[in-house]
Amino acid sequence: MEHFYLSLLLLFVSFVSLSLFTLFYKHRAHFTGPNLPPGKTGYPMIGESLEFLSTGWKGHPEKFIFDRMTRFSSEIFKTSLLGQPAAVFCGAACNKFLFSNENKLVVAWWPESVNKIFPSSNQTNSNEEARKMRKLLPQFFKPEALHRYIGIMDTIAQRHFSSSWENNKEVTVFPLAKSLEDPTHIARFADPFNALASGIISIPIDLPGTPFNRGIKASNFIRKELLKIIKQRRTDLGEGKASPTQDILSHMLLATDENGQHMTELDIADKILGLLIGGHDTASAACTFIVKYLAELPHIYDGVYNEQMEIAKSKEPGELLNWDDIQKMRYSWNVACEVLRLAPPLQGAFREAINDFIFNGFSIPKGWKLYWSANSTHKSPAYFPEPEKFDPSRFEGSGPAPYTFVPFGGGPRMCPGKEYARLEILVFMHNLVKRFKWEKVIPDEKIVVDPMPIPAKGLPVRLYPRN
Ligand code: HEM
């Protein structure tokens, strides 16, 4: 009997050792080959993911990049992220290389977790879905459509400020900025959205309590809620209570693909979810940081205030903002750009090498994941002297050098919602400074980047109405 247990134990120990050996061997095998970029590859499976994520949780995502740029190479270093062998491309020349070689040497890549968190994407994959989305969006972002949205955005912003800001001595900006579009719907989704966003950029381990597991649960919850809204809209369209051109949801319900097929409701729910994550959270993060910097820098606030009041004074009572007004908001947009430089809502994104290739003398094997990082240029003194200084004049004249200011990415995958976001942000700034001055309740509030930057306590501010 004793022999039996001893053999069982030996078998178990051999099994564990073999598994560990295989894991280590596989991990090392990814990183053997001539002329790979210098760098550290961390542990099997998790690689350097924890260091990558935790510098963000501590509020300094750029630290992961700059530490390695100093230690290994200022342009490209190898690492292992989210279960994948990877190289981080740093600086303007690297950004240019990745953005210009889309579909030639690289394609967009999203972590495995995205396919799990958005299950309908499993029918194809996240890249195929993104391609469909790219085809769908331009109709909503055509100049005529964008011009039309300005008045609608202004109405929504006015409603938002009168229902949630006015008559309050103090507000917490982040949840309010998030509810800018439709307070009743979005407020219910606020927590699940945060869980979902953290789950997308997380280590893909699906165990109770892990960020990945919470992300999947949150996505199921939001999708169910969205399905209810979609079904209601289908009924309303049938009964003539909603218009076919009212918004992207009506369009998705009515549009057919090249084979005459309608999109399924689950597919629509996923697309809307993608847009809410890609578009809504990013713009809210930007608006939140505008409030933060304007509180900290009174002279910048005054500049924005003067510009916006010139515009406000030129309007008839009740007249909504229009395209000409937006064109006059040059200083305000420079301020918003400086905010996007210092606190980019998206830290960067991945590509996948579709062939072996050589870049700057280093071999990049097919299948490696390549990461471009906004911070590698935004926070570099080579492109932005005194990078920590808030200075909107950097955007005057011809502005920053090409491929250095990249909050919206670049090349064929550049954010298709860029212009929409610009309008949303400027309409927000106009309505905000016209009504209030404010100060931060917590002067040294910490910033957490997970994966988007947010003030740890949501940025509570004390409001001082202007009139
Ligand atoms: C301040 C606000 C925003 C920022 C900073 C931002 C940033 C970005 C960035 C950096 C990318 C490129 C990722 C890559 O290189 O792979 C991207 C892609 C994308 N953005 Fe935005 N975005 C914003 C607002 C929006 C809005 C308002 C929408 C839609 C309403 C939107 C929809 C998308 C979509 C669909 C993609 C994927 C494009 C593709 O893969 O081809 N974004 N965004």
Q: Which tens digit of pLDDT belongs to each residue from 403-445?
A: 999 999 999 999 988 998 999 999 999 999 999 999 999 999 9
When the pLDDT of each residue in the chain is averaged and rounded to a whole number, the result is: 86
Q: Is 364 helix (H, G, I), strand (E, B) or coil?
A: strand
Q: 299 CA to middle of ligand 1, Å? A: 31
pLDDT at 371 over 80: yes
Q: Where is pLDDT greater, at 25 or 148? A: 148
Least confident of 14-23, 48-57, 185-194, 320-329: 14-23
To which H or E segment does residue 226 belong? helix 211-238
Percent of the chain residues past pLDDT 70, beyond the cut: 84
Q: Which of 101, 141, 282, 333 to mutate to test the pocket of ligand 1 (most atoms within 8 A of CB)?
A: 282
Query: Is the model more confident about 248 or about 365?
Result: 365
Query: Looking at residue 83, what is its pLDDT?
Result: 83
Please indicate if the annotation marks 415 as binding a ligand. yes
Identify the band that residue 396 occupies on the pLDDT scale cut at 50, 70 and 90.
very high
Atom of ligand 1 at shortest range from CA of 409: 10
- Tell me the CATH class for 37-465: mainly alpha
Place 121 in a pLDDT band, splitting at 50, 70 and 90: very low
Type and span of the H or E element at 363:
strand 362-364
Map tokens 């990558």 to a residue.
52
| pLDDT value at 127 more than 80 | no
- The answer to whether the CB of 415 is under 6 A from ligand 1 is yes
Burial label, 159 (beta-carbon count in 10 A; 0-12, 13-18, 19+): middle
- Residue 413 Cα to ligand 1 midpoint, Å, equals 8
In the Cβ-directed half-sphere of 29, how many Cα atoms lie within 13 Å?
6
Is residue 466 classed exposed, middle or buried when 0-12, 13-18 and 19+ CB atoms within 10 A define those classes?
exposed
- Residue 157 pLDDT > 60: yes
**For residue 226, how far is its CA from the centre of ligand 1 (angstroms)?**
21
Confidence of residue 336 (pLDDT cuts 50, 70, 90): very high
Model confidence at 115, pLDDT cuts 50, 70, 90, reads low
